[in-house]
Amino acid sequence: METVTGRGNGDNMKSKSDFVRYNMNEYIGEMETWNVLKGKMEKSIPFCYVRFNEGESRLVANINGTPRGRGSTMEPEEVRQLGECSINKVGKRGGRPYGQWNYNQQEDKEFHNLMLESLVEEHPDYHASLCNIRTFSNYRYQTLIQMDDKMTSPPSQVLSAHMPHDKNVHNDFLETIKQYSGKVNLVINETGKTDNFPFKCNNIWTVSNHDAHRNSMGVIDDIKKEIEQQNIQNELFLGCAGPFTNVVLHQLWKSSPTNYYIDAGSTLDGFLFDHVARGWLEKIGYSHYLRPKLRGKK
């Protein structure tokens, strides 16, 4: 990869690949990531944490298909040769019971731009986290390329998007949420239950179970108005709305950077739904796992 200097500001810069190379070799783990976020909460430092896992990484880098592999990485030119990016997250025969979404590179250009903005936001207390190195190296590589190309000062290290998947982190995360009981604000799937949480909520906003990024954009302005009207500060916002979460939390961070915004992903599925659809949640201890062969059956 070529060496670039200046990047528009006249300063001598390191090789363009330094940021990518470093973060392909060094990985901040799940507990380390949580300690960074929890430490900021303990010091009352507002922040935003969004997660670029497999689906979000494919979307933001327009990766068609599912390139994986521990040892191989794909140059941007190779990715473009894969054709137009289309992502279908509805499960086999529609068996994904909640959080169904589709993405098409041509049809969702505006959403792609918003997702890209949420990846390359530059602020020391804004964290766009990426896939791990071991099982999703290609996705990590492509998102790092995007950050390196579009950020003036990319972070020295990126946090882990798999943070909630660690059992110890998961449990401590839930205990921390309880400390904010009454000051917790949720953005969740419309099919989720809202009466099973082990903490009290201030506000709960719901988004469409199908293509929230197409059908629920208006919720962003709704939340902004409520934050302003209620003068919400130093409260916890948790997003559980798939890729749409990245855009929601990023937009809220830009307008009201006085709260804690965390992309909780599937972390709360055990409270929201009758069945969890993630194997890592079963490993953590949620026994009501919705196995693939049972999906779509009552």
Question: Can you name the residues that pair with 67 across neighbouring β-strands?
Answer: none
- 161: in domain: yes
Q: Is residue 256 part of a domain?
A: yes
Please give the pLDDT value at position 34.
97
Residue 14: inside a domain, yes or no? no
Note whether residue 4 is domain-resident: no
Give the pLDDT of the chain (298 residues) as one tens digit per residue: 333 222 333 233 344 578 999 999 899 999 999 999 999 999 999 999 999 998 999 999 988 776 554 445 666 556 655 678 899 888 666 567 888 999 999 999 999 999 999 999 999 999 999 998 888 888 899 899 999 999 999 998 899 999 988 889 999 999 999 999 999 999 999 999 888 889 999 999 999 999 999 999 999 999 999 999 999 999 999 999 999 999 999 999 999 999 999 999 888 888 887 777 776 777 777 766 555 444 444 4
CB 73 within 8 A of CB 163: no
Radius of gyration of the chain (CA): 19
What does the block give as tokens for 249? 């939390």
**pLDDT of amino acid 130:** 97
What per-residue confidence (pLDDT) applies to 3?
31
In a domain, 182, yes or no: yes
Q: Is 163 within the bounds of a domain?
A: yes
Whole-angstrom Cα distance, residue 99 to residue 114? Answer: 19
Q: How many domains does the chain have?
A: 1
- pLDDT reported for residue 75: 62
pLDDT of residue 212: 96
> What is the Cα–Cα distance from 198 to 184, expressed in whole angstroms?
11
Q: What is the pLDDT of residue 196?
A: 85
The region that residue 29 occupies, defined by phi over 0 for left and psi between -120 and 50 for alpha, beta otherwise, is beta
Could you tell me the pTM of the whole model?
A: 0.88
Q: Is residue 11 part of a domain?
A: no
Range of the domain at 157: 19-294
Burial (0-12, 13-18, 19+ Cβ within 10 Å), 268: buried
Q: What is the pLDDT of residue 74?
A: 62
Residue in the block written with tokens 């998961």: 170
User: How far apart, in Å, are the Cα atoms of 125 and each of 39, 45, 257, 261?
Assistant: 12, 8, 9, 11
Is 253 contained in some domain?
Answer: yes
Nearest alpha carbon to residue 236 among 208, 195, 204: 204
